[in-house]
Structure 1
């Protein structure tokens, strides 16, 4: 937890002023019983109305000063805690952005979202309460005991008995409830995960008529959460009545013990009232400390989970040279004996992959499900690093490039068409923020997206909803293809990016890619023979190994795996005709 306090370094002033004003407020609060004592012992006893009014005015002034100090403390504590949360959230996002796909796959996106939102909010609230109560509550307890000692040493001994009893009851209740609150947080995390899955997969759930089973699972989990909360709430609800019973017993004992001293003029009636007030202040301070400890416990649990993310180091780090000079005479992309496994598994997803691709060539990558097609293209921009061997671009190992330079060379179209909330123009500028409308329109035409964009009322200024939910699957894919070509990258990777296109649109796209890509090196990952049969070179993968490299015709004659794929999509006569 203490590791996170470094995010308060820019708020040292606020972190000092907040607790300071809380201590000043506590001083005013401790002074109130003294003024009340004077009103009773002097004003009321002597029937001195002007004195009562003056003391009453002082009590009101103390109240206003206490309120002003409290508001000031709240302001600075809130400013420090919000700044803490903002700095922590920004740094955590920056750290997550440095993680490779491998680490993100291990942790899970839903877990990262929970850490970025719920856990940071809990830590932020904990800092706020910490700054307000950490010094104030103990100060009130100690101050009230000292003020009581100043009135009567003997009667204060009752305080020294009552205070430990209160502390013991609060401690016992908290020792039972805090572990329960930790279980509540874990169950809440599971509930959030299930909720996220249910919402993101709503269409699939409905398609399989699985709403009832999902509802039953959700109901079971929420019932478990409710049961934990009710049990913790019942135990926690005992705190107020039990502590007040102890305090009221203490007050009764105090009144009994003070009656004789008042009768013998050892202490005054005002002294008794002041002692009762100080006892109540001690109770409220101890209850505030209980709230503080509960929040610190929650904060600590959240801090551990946040630090767990910070402790994950990126396996793919941006340590490339800033002055990489490409060899334009070398192949555009080259794999040399590359093997790769996910999450340091002993089983390779790719094994001993070697091939070269020259500048301007279009290469198709095909194979069965799980054969390693996407893994190959993910190694080029260093979404993952090869376990063995080298991946080179223009004769330079990709590990020697800074990320910005490496990925500036590459236009990527992922399997899942991802668009962001904003206009069409905004989405097209993700790869090149300086792109003008002419470049965007050229890319839209190449991706066969120009016509439907121009049919929109606002054209390039048409708003796209989050994840492109107001577009069809084919429209989203075409826009992501267009985005990859904006800025004329040297290498373009289309990872099964035409799966939602109809045959006519895909045919026009293939022709545009053939005619307009020029010196670009294009990788087309697909399971459709029609998507890659006319490319310059086809790489056939089977169980993570290269089964064949060549043209469509060559592979039909020489590669059994490719021929089998062809027979699954083309008639035997068509395949024989090619051979």
Structure 2
């Protein structure tokens, strides 16, 4: 795409310059020949017309170079996509996650010698192992590119491992159907996603079979019920495309309510309070704390002050666990986590 822009920007001025040089050459030479009575003035006009007829197709080719190069760039992407390996099929004998509507999974998670890279020659996670008991709150911290988001993507099996295994309640995640595996996990991300439709439709996306009473109870637990009731049509209020008619904090509270309604056994929370005001941040934090209660939670933390009460803080750097422990023990160790913590607060004070 860059090449197409560069070549089209370069080719058109070049062809115009060559055409103009042709006009100048014809005019100078024609004037000389007219002065010496070799040709008539009308012959100069004829040659200028011939020159324009010759350069016009070249100018058209130059103008089409942008489209040709863009087409080639798009074709490369299409064929690169077609050459990607197919997704591995689900197992023919999957492990059930529920029986007669009752969940069979408690939320125990284990990473065993996990190794992964988006490309075989560029490994992101080298040798990651960890055991998480049901109901534990695990915070994942580290600098950009340390592999925090990659871990949760692997847990939901968006990518296949290069080595090792991930277990849920002792079962390899590859023994679950992908749909069943992902139904166990609820996600509240930093970029809240709501679709065009009513508030009711957006909340019930977490559980289409939920009744209104259960939906309103989830909204109350997420501290968003008061906001919904102040809307013109309450739960039947239409959200515009991109949910532009509600604020960032309100969108985040609605996604927390949706996660409450889905009632997952495992939670993935991406810190969502960085772009909201202090009062809304308190509400979101209360909603997230209530949502995590009794559930296995993985919190990707950007504000380290929000994960002091985590059962364990996992400090990642370049795909490896460099430290693990609670907030107090890590601060006493005066290691990598302490540097991250102090650097964040010193930058905020500045």
Question: Aligned pair 1:463/2:238, yes or no?
Answer: yes
Report the counterpart of residue 474 of structure 1 in structure 2.
249
Distance 1:517 1:330, change over 3 A: closer
1:336 equivalent in alignment to 2:112: yes
1:328 and 1:394 in contact (8 A); partners too: no
CA separation of 1:184 and 1:570: change in aligned 2, threshold 3 A: closer
Shift in Å, 1:422: 0.9
Unmatched segments (≥5 aa) in structure 1? 1-175, 194-300, 572-579
Residue 285 of structure 2 is matched in structure 1 by 510
Give the Cα–Cα distance (whole angstroms) in 2 for the partners of residues 330 and 463 of structure 1: 37
Q: Tell me by how many angstroms 1:516 deviates.
A: 5.3
Compute the displacement of 1:441 (Å).
2.4
- Separation of aligned partners in 1, 2:131 and 2:318: 20
Distance verdict in 2 for CA 1:465–1:181, change over 3 Å: same
Deviation at 1:447, TM superposition (A): 3.1
- Give per-residue Cα distances to partners, 1:239-288, cap 9 Å, x unaligned: xxxxxxxxxxxxxxxxxxxxxxxxxxxxxxxxxxxxxxxxxxxxxxxxxx
Match of 2:327 in 1: 552
Deviations 1:136-189 (A, max 9, x none): xxxxxxxxxxxxxxxxxxxxxxxxxxxxxxxxxxxxxxxx9xx99996754666
Which deviations, in whole Å up to 9, do the C-alpha atoms of 1:55-90 show, x marking residues without a partner? Answer: xxxxxxxxxxxxxxxxxxxxxxxxxxxxxxxxxxxx
Instruction: Choose the corresponding residue for 1:497, options 272, 277, 288.
Output: 272
Q: Deviation per CA, 1:439-481: give whole Å up to 9, x if none.
A: 3223333333322222111121111112222222222222223
Q: Specify the alignment match of 1:397 in structure 2.
A: 172
Partner of 2:224: 449
Is the contact between residue 107 and residue 135 of structure 2 (CA under 8 Å) also seen in structure 1?
no
Give the one of 86, 90, 110 matched to 1:319. Answer: 90
Given the two structures, how large is their TM-score scaled by the length of structure 1?
0.44
Which residue of structure 2 lines up, in the alignment, with residue 415 of structure 1? 190
Name whichever of 512-521 and 524-533 sits farther off: 512-521
| Deviations 1:325-354 (CA, angstroms, capped at 9, x unpaired) | 569798611111112111x24222222111
Q: Deviations over 1:408-444 (max 9, x none)?
A: 1111123322211111111122232112223322333
Cα distance in 1 between the residues matched to 2:337 and 2:127: 19
Alpha-carbon distance in structure 2 between the residues aligned to 1:400 and 1:181: 55
Greater C-alpha Rg: 1
Which structure 2 residue ranges, 5 or more long, are not aligned? 1-57, 98-102
Residue 212 of structure 2: which of 410, 417, 437 is its match? Answer: 437
Counterpart contact for 1:318–1:402, Cα < 8 Å? no
1:364–1:524: 8 Å Cα contact kept in structure 2? yes
Cα distance in 1 between the residues matched to 2:316 and 2:78: 40
Offset of 1:523 from its aligned partner? 1.4
Q: Alignment RMSD, CA only?
A: 3.2
Q: What is the 5 A alignment of 1:71-150?
A: none
How far apart, in 1, do the equivalents of 2:252 and 2:299 lie? 14
Aligned: 1:371 with 2:138 = no
The aligned runs of 1:178-577 (5 Å cut-off) are 185-186=67-68, 309-310=81-82, 312-314=84-86, 316-325=87-96, 332-342=108-118, 344-515=119-290, 517-558=292-333, 560-570=335-345
Q: How many residues align?
A: 282
Query: Aligned to 2:130, what secondary structure does the other structure show?
Result: strand
* Alpha-carbon distance change, 311 to 444 in structure 1, aligned in 2, over 3 angstroms: same
Distance 1:317 1:532 in 2: 36
Cα distance in 2 for residues equivalent to 1:496 and 1:189: 40
Q: Which structure dedicates a bigger proportion of its chain to helix? A: 1
Residues 548 and 559 of structure 1 are in contact (CA less than 8 Å); yes or no, is this contact kept in structure 2?
no
- 2:46 corresponds in structure 1 to none
Contact map agreement 2:105 2:265 (CA 8 A) in 1? no
Change (3 A) 1:189 1:470: farther
Which protein is richer in strand relative to its size?
A: 2
TM-score by length of 2: 0.70
Q: 1:308 to 1:363 in 2, by over 3 A?
A: closer
- Going from structure 1 to structure 2, the CA distance change for 1:568 and 1:184 (only over 3 Å counts) comes to closer
Supply the distance in 2 between the matched residues of 1:499 and 1:510 (Cα, whole angstroms): 11
Distance in 2 between the 1:490 and 1:470 partners? 32
How far apart are the structure 2 equivalents of 1:328 and 1:497?
30
CA deviations 1:531-566 (Å, max 9, x no partner) are: 211122211111221121211111112261111122
Instruction: Note closer, same or farther for the CA distance 1:389–1:452 as it changes in structure 2 (3 Å cut).
Output: same
Measured in 2, the distance between the counterparts of 1:454 and 1:345 equals 52
